[in-house]
Amino acid sequence: MTVDMNAAKATLLEERAKLVHQMDELGANENGDLRPDLDFGEGFADAAAITAERTEVMGLANVLKEQLESVDEALGRIETGSYGTCSNCGKNIGAARLKIRPMANMCIECKTAAS
């Protein structure tokens, strides 16, 4: 089974759009920064709750930002022609792995060894 680059790119672009939408729903931009218009409330008695909520939102935005970076890196590899090549050993990443995890940059052997 070979990798269909057009299908991989379409899948990655769809994933990218989904991640950007999730970040927007959280109140963050693509850089993971919270938008200035995000309002957690101003009550003094609720300061601890507001801080906890803001910290949780920032953590979620950071996870989404990291996923977005992985998708963007994979799209970059498609553009440079290195998509599907393990960044560690240089061997081909299996098409089945790329179908399941299109942003993978390592073959299963190298990823397993790195974990």
> How far is residue 79's CA from residue 18's CA, in Å, rounded to a whole number?
21
Give the structural domain span for 38.
5-83
Structure pTM? 0.82
Judge whether 107 lies within some domain.
Answer: no
Judge whether 25 lies within some domain.
Answer: yes
Domain count for the chain: 1
Amino acid at 95: A
pLDDT of residue 114 exceeding 60, the answer is yes
Judge whether 17 lies within some domain.
Answer: yes
pLDDT at residue 43 in the model:
57
pLDDT digits (tens, 9 = 90+) for 12-54: 999 999 999 999 998 888 888 877 776 666 654 566 776 777 7
Residue from 2, 20, 29, 4 nearest 72 by CA = 20
